[in-house]
């Protein structure tokens, strides 16, 4: 008997149940169907000789060969390195990576999660920092829960305060290492170039520095902090603002390397300070550019490409599925001392 013409609707009619229920039972949906109803569907399928449609099952189970990768700035070397690591692992598994750029817009990040879910990606890797804006975490959690409920896999880079596996860099410890380094070099008049205030990585790096500074018996509330946007031009402008506020600063801590590069440029021209003879500069991330700047940059090293690879491994690992607690990988950081820092001296512009 040729049963190739038997459809899923025929099975549903035979069992006296809905087409949606038949699909959930036979196409492997993660949505639960009662035992009695499931048995009716299976019996009807066997009686009719129904052969399930493989592509339809793949669609129902979200087993496309695509994973989504969401970053904040695609042209930022920080995200480029993470993306390279993640995409290398995805390619090794025969998967295509779809890259989405949020431009540091939290609402766009949530919208991209929804769009990637609609595209039936196998998994989502959120590589940007967590966001501290009120209501954001709850809104993101809601859309991710729907994605996970449908069988999608999720992994994170940095702490998002969400119940999914993640790769967590020691940002607070990195900030503390910078504070100790500058303190031990005798710097007491330090300025900080911060990043977007709604990012958890910014608050962690900043609090790590100020907490350590206070532990040395110094008043962190006296440290001038100027906001930046994680770009070179933002670091340049913030440096001018810092020295307008306090020309006696002897060291700058920029919360990423791009802003540190901008700080080095501003100190040279128009401010006319020598680095590190008059002003020391420290960055964070250890991007590939850090060692090749005119004054090689002292910075906190993060193994960015490895972090991306580890996060994609978490996303694709069967060990992460169904675990009571999300599996997190804690990434240590190291301070790399180069030529941009030196013992504090009396600061002053060149004559």
List the domain boundaries for the chain: 8-60, 66-169+304-332, 171-301
Question: Is the peptide bond between 305 and the residue preceding it cis, with omega within 30 degrees of 0?
Answer: no
Report how far apart the first and last C-alpha atoms of the chain are (Å, whole number): 98
Share of the chain above pLDDT 90, in %: 75
The yes-or-no answer to whether 66-169+304-332 and 171-301 have a common fold is yes
* Domain 66-169+304-332 superfamily per CATH: Response regulator (3.40.50.2300)
pLDDT at 288: 95
* Residue 54, pLDDT above cutoff 60: no
* Tokens of residue 124, six digits: 């989502």
Share of the chain above pLDDT 70, in %: 90
**Protein fold of 8-60:** 434 Repressor (Amino-terminal Domain) (1.10.260)
- At residue 152's C-alpha, the angle toward residues 149 and 155, to 5°, is 110
pLDDT at 43: 87
pLDDT at 19: 84
**Protein fold of 171-301:** Rossmann fold (3.40.50)
Give CA–CA dist 122/151, Å, rounded. Answer: 8
* Residue 187 and residue 344 in contact, taking contact as beta carbons nearer than 8 Å: yes
According to DSSP, the residues that pair with 125 across neighbouring strands are 69, 155
Q: pLDDT by residue (tens digit) across 302-341?
A: 999 999 999 999 999 976 555 567 899 999 999 999 999 9
Where b means 16+ CB within 10 Å and e means fewer, 272-281 reads ebbbbebbbb
Greater model confidence, 318 or 251: 251
pLDDT at 349: 43
């Amino acid at each position: 008997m040729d049963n190739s013409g038997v459809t899923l609707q025929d099975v549903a009619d035979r069992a006296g149940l809905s087409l949606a229920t038949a699909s959930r039972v036979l196409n492997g949906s993660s949505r639960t169907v009662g035992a009695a109803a499931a048995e009716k569907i299976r019996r009807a399928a066997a009686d009719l000789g129904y052969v399930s449609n493989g592509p339809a099952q793949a669609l129902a189970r979200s087993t496309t060969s695509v994973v989504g990768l969401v970053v904040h700035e695609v042209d930022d070397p920080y995200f480029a390195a993470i993306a390279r690591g993640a995409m290398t692992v995805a390619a090794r598994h025969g998967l295509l990576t779809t890259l989405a750029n949020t431009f540091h817009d939290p609402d766009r990040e949530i919208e991209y999660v929804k769009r990637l879910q609609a595209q039936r990606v196998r998994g989502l890797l959120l590589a940007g920092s967590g966001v501290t804006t009120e209501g954001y975490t709850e809104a993101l959690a809601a859309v991710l829960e729907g994605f996970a409920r449908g069988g999608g896999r999720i992994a994170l880079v940095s702490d998002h305060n969400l119940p999914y596996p993640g790769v967590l860099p020691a940002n607070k410890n990195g900030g503390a290492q910078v504070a100790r380094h500058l303190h031990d070099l005798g710097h007491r008049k330090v300025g900080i170039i911060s990043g977007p205030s709604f990012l958890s990585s910014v608050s962690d790096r900043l609090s790590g520095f100020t907490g350590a500074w206070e532990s040395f018996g110094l008043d962190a509330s006296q440290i001038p902090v100027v906001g930046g946007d994680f770009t070179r031009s933002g670091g340049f402008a913030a440096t001018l603002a810092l020295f307008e506020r306090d020309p006696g600063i002897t060291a700058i801590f920029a919360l990423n390397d791009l802003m540190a590069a901008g700080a080095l440029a501003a100190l040279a021209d128009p401010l006319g300070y020598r680095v590190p003879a008059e002003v020391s500069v420290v960055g964070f991330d250890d991007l590939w550019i850090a060692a090749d700047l005119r004054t090689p940059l002292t910075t906190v090293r993060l193994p960015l490409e490895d972090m991306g690879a580890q996060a994609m491994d978490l996303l694709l690992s069967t060990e992460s599925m169904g675990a009571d607690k999300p599996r997190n990988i804690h990434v240590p950081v190291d301070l790399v001392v180069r030529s941009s820092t030196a013992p504090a001296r009396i600061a002053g512009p060149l004559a």
